[in-house]
């Protein structure tokens, strides 16, 4: 998880941004760098401290330690999420932008777990990270966004939640498809106070979760993607960056597909 923030002046173009992202190191770093280049500060959290420290070190090196805030947080533990946002609020103030990029997709040697073999523990773990964690983060920041009359929320879904899944398991697909409904439920409640809620749905992106580019699964994916390649984390970051900008103020409740044409709804 990463969070970005700068001091926001109500009548100026340089707003204070607090952006919140979950795991997938390459995608998180790409989005963070894009937002930092706008002048944002960045706070980040992840479940594994070693990954959090590695991301923080890379960002500090390029943008300065005073603009980076890093903590280890388990998304399956609501108290840790609450504590993170409380500390962040004390340090930098209210969040302006929330980007939820959680994604775990358990797989065995033969791929995702078949439905009849999914344990309740696996099901609950995936949903707690991919879906419930998003809800808890929204609960943490939306009151502050409402009070200040500005907010951008971007939820990172997946092509697996949009089209027939080819790789992902049932729990992952369910959690990612649910994000669209969750986003729609927030739009009528918060649009009038200057908050937008949108979803970015990436296709096959070259991240740690996707594995080696030359794996059989990725070669098969490239063969069916009209663009003829996997996507890059920076391309997902670009879509997120646009939706968090002032120019996207009238885009609300949308799902932006970033998949090279593999899924093209009419």
Question: For the chain, where are the E strands, in sequence order?
Answer: 2-5, 41-46, 68-72, 97-100, 107-108, 111-112, 151-156, 195-202, 255-258
CA 245 to chain centre: 16
For the chain, the distance separating the N- and C-terminal CA atoms, rounded to the nearest angstrom, is 33
Q: Kindly provide the b/e burial profile for residues 106-130, where b requires at least 16 CB atoms within 10 angstroms of the residue's own CB.
A: beeeeebbeeeebeeebbebbbbbb
| Rg of the chain, C-alpha, whole Å | 18
Has 190 been annotated as catalytic?
Answer: no
Cα–Cα distances in angstroms (integers) from residue 176 to residues 50, 89, 129, 142, 173, in the given order: 26, 28, 11, 21, 5
With contact defined as beta carbons under 8 Å apart, do 229 and 171 qualify? no
Tell me which of 157, 172, 237, 252 is the catalytic residue. 172
Active site residues: 172
């Amino acid at each position: 998880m990463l969070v970005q923030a700068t001091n926001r002046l109500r009548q100026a173009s340089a707003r204070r941004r607090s952006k919140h992202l979950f795991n997938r190191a390459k995608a998180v770093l790409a989005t963070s760098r894009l937002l930092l280049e706008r002048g944002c500060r960045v706070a980040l959290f992840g479940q594994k401290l070693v990954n959090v420290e590695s991301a923080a070190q890379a960002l500090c090196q390029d943008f300065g330690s005073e603009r980076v805030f890093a903590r280890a947080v388990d998304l399956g533990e609501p108290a840790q999420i609450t504590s993170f946002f409380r500390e962040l609020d004390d340090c930098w103030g209210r969040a302006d932008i929330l980007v939820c990029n959680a994604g775990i997709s358990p797989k065995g040697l033969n791929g995702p777990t078949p439905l009849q073999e999914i344990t309740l523990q696996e099901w609950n773990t995936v949903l707690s990270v991919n879906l419930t964690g998003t809800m808890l983060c929204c609960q943490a920041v939306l009151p502050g966004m409402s009070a200040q009359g500005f907010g951008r929320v971007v939820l990172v879904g997946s092509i697996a939640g949009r089209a027939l899944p080819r790789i992902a398991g049932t729990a992952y697909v369910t959690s990612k498809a649910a994000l669209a409904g969750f986003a729609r439920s927030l739009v009528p409640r918060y649009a009038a106070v200057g908050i937008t809620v949108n979803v970015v749905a990436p296709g096959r992106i070259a991240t740690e979760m996707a594995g080696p580019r030359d794996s059989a699964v990725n070669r098969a994916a490239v063969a069916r993607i009209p663009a003829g390649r996997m996507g890059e984390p920076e391309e997902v970051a670009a879509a997120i960056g646009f939706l968090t900008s002032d120019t996207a103020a009238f885009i609300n409740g949308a799902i932006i597909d970033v998949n090279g044409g593999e899924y093209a709804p009419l």
